[in-house]
Structure 1
């Protein structure tokens, strides 16, 4: 079985000049879910309050896709 994991909401935001609001991340996550993406990496919760707000908004939508967050192997994460 092949599963699709999309990192647009975290890795895509590494592009210079790209900064997504929590609402924009939610809209993208909904579209990714509609496209049939299996796992959506919603961001890195340790990054900022806005990042955590976006992740919470996405996880509260009841999407079919599994939602994950990037974390380092550090206690603070």
Structure 2
């Protein structure tokens, strides 16, 4: 599939996870992490290891965002 589709899917799941976690009084980072676990190779395998290796720049940016939000 198209890499842009998977990036958009990850952003959408992260956004929705952040909204849901905020609604249940958790920080948005918890929703981002749960969304990543659901999409990743350990649960649904939508974002498999080959795709994640190709998206190295996006992985680094996502880790930087999570680290920045956590403080």
TM-score category, normalised to shorter length: 0.3 to 0.5
TM-score, structure 2 normalization:
0.33
| Greater percentage in helix | 2
TM-score, structure 1 normalization:
0.32
| Greater percentage in strand | 1
Q: For CA contacts below 8 A with separation 6 or more, give which structure has more relative contact order.
A: 1
